C-alpha cells in the first residue's frame, strides 16, 4: 500500500483600514452666545425632570459618504471610531496531514479568530496557490468534487465516501457561509493559478472580540496516487469595511 506524506503551509495577509485620527474640540461661546448642546446637528436639546436627565441630538438627514475634488465628507454613525480594533489570527500556520493511505481520509483543523468593532462588514477569504502537489510538479491531488461530484468553490456538498478523492475543507463556528450545513459538507479551494475567485469563509456585520470558526482541511487519495511529499499554500485575506 502506497503512503504519501502531505505538508500544507498557510500564509496570512491582513488588510486593515487606517485608524480615525484624533479630533480636537473646545467650548463654543463668546460674549454674545454659548452653545451647550452635545452636538451641533439638525437638532439637539437637554431635558430633565425629577427622575431623569437627558441630552439628545438629531443626526444627519443625509448620512453617507460624499466626495469631490479636494475633500471627502463621511457623515453619520457608520463612521464612528471603533473601540474594538480589527484583528485576524490563525491558530496553526503549518498543517501536516501526515502519512496517508489510500481511501483513508486525513483531516486537520485550524481556528480562525476575528475581532471586529466597526459599523460596517468584515470578511475572510481563502484561496490555494496551486493544487496540492509535489515539489517538481509532476503529480498533484485534485480538488474534491465531493460524493456526487457537485460541490464547487462556493457550494458545499456532502463528502463522506472513501472512494471520492481529492483535497478540500469544511467550516464550523461563527459567521460561516450557510452552505456548510454540518461538518460533512465540504468545498474545494479556489485555485489562484486558475484565476478562480477567492472564497468567503467568514463574514458578518456583527461586532465581536472573539469570533471564531474552525476550518477542517481534508485529503483522500486513490490507490494509484504516486508517492511523494505534497504541499501547497493557502492564502487568507481578512478585510474590514468601515
pLDDT the model gives residue 149: 93
Cell of 205: 456585520
Residue 233 has pLDDT above 50, yes or no: yes
Residue 7 has pLDDT above 50, yes or no: no
pTM above 0.95, yes or no: no
Cell of 129: 496557490
Q: Are 220 and 132 in contact (CB under 8 A)?
A: no
pLDDT the model gives residue 25: 52
**Any idea where the domains of the chain sit in the sequence?**
3-18+83-240
pLDDT classification of 182: cutoffs 50, 70, 90: very high
Is it true that domain 3-18+83-240 has CATH number 2.40.50?
Answer: no
180 Cβ contact list (under 8 Å, min separation 6): 156, 170, 171, 172, 187
Amino acid at each position: 500500500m502506497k503512503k504519501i506524506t502531505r505538508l500544507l503551509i498557510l500564509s496570512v495577509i491582513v488588510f486593515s483600514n487606517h485608524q480615525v485620527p484624533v479630533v480636537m474640540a473646545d467650548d463654543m461661546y463668546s460674549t454674545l452666545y454659548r452653545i451647550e448642546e452635545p452636538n451641533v446637528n439638525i437638532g439637539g436639546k437637554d431635558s430633565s425632570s425629577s427622575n431623569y436627565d437627558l441630552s439628545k441630538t438629531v443626526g444627519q438627514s443625509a448620512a453617507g459618504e460624499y466626495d469631490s475634488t479636494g475633500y471627502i465628507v463621511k457623515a453619520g454613525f457608520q463612521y464612528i471610531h471603533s473601540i474594538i480594533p480589527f484583528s485576524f489570527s490563525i491558530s496553526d500556520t503549518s498543517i501536516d496531514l501526515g502519512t496517508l493511505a489510500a481511501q483513508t481520509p486525513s483531516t486537520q483543523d485550524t481556528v480562525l479568530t476575528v475581532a471586529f468593532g466597526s459599523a460596517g462588514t468584515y470578511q475572510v477569504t481563502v484561496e490555494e496557490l496551486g493544487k496540492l502537489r509535489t515539489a517538481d510538479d509532476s503529480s498533484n491531488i485534485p480538488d474534491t468534487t465531493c460524493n456526487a461530484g457537485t460541490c464547487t468553490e462556493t457550494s458545499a456538498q456532502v463528502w463522506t465516501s472513501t472512494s471520492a478523492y481529492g483535497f478540500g475543507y469544511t467550516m464550523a463556528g461563527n459567521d460561516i457561509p450557510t452552505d456548510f450545513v454540518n461538518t460533512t459538507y465540504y468545498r474545494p479551494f479556489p485555485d489562484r493559478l486558475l484565476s478562480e475567485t477567492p472564497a468567503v469563509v467568514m463574514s458578518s456585520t456583527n461586532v465581536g472580540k472573539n469570533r471564531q470558526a474552525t476550518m477542517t482541511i481534508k485529503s483522500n487519495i486513490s490507490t494509484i496516487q504516486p508517492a511523494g511529499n505534497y504541499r501547497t499554500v493557502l492564502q487568507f485575506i481578512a478585510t474590514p469595511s468601515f
